[in-house]
Amino acid sequence: DAGVIQSPRHEVTEMGQEVTLRCKPISGHDYLFWYRQTMMRGLELLIYFNNNVPIDDSGMPEDRFSAKMPNASFSTLKIQPSEPRDSAVYFCASSLDGRNGPQHFGDGTRLSIL
């Protein structure tokens, strides 16, 4: 079975540009999570969805960040406008319903804002 698929793997863009990160969760998983990882802060949860509905977006740093899940097989995380401090690795993960179920991660998007 295919795992969680993220695109692009790498993104380099200039400050002020719009950035869109994409994620395809594992088929049948009804939870989807977006994380950001940096050396200083580790993995930080940005937002998670259940059955395509955003449940908790308290980790979204500011209004420049937005996430959507139009259907069960696709989600986007958008940053507009981007800033150098947004540079990080962004991960998407999915899990089956279940209180303590393991999360399955994609290989991330390494984002560099110049």
Partner 1 sequence: SQKIEQNSEALNIQEGKTATLTCNYTNYSPAYLQWYRQDPGRGPVFLLLIRENEKEKRKERLKVTFDTTLKQSLFHITASQPADSATYLCAPGSAGNNRKLIWGLGTSLAVNP
Binding interface with partner 1 (CB under 8 A): 4, 31, 33, 42-45, 48, 50, 55-56, 91, 93, 95, 99-100, 102-108
> Helix or strand or coil: residue 85?
helix
User: Min. distance of Cβ 15 from partner 1 in angstroms?
Assistant: 25
Of 14 and 41, which CB lies nearer to partner 1 in the complex structure? 41
Smaller CB separation from partner 1, 17 or 69: 69
Determine if residue 63 is left, alpha or beta; phi over 0 gives left, psi from -120 to 50 gives alpha, anything else beta. alpha
Return the number of the residue (15 or 96) whose C-beta is nearest partner 1. Answer: 96
Least Å from the CB of residue 81 to partner 1: 27
Indicate the length of the chain as a whole number. 114
What are the phi and psi torsion angles at 84 (to 5°)?
Answer: -55, -35
CB 114 within 8 A of CB 12: yes
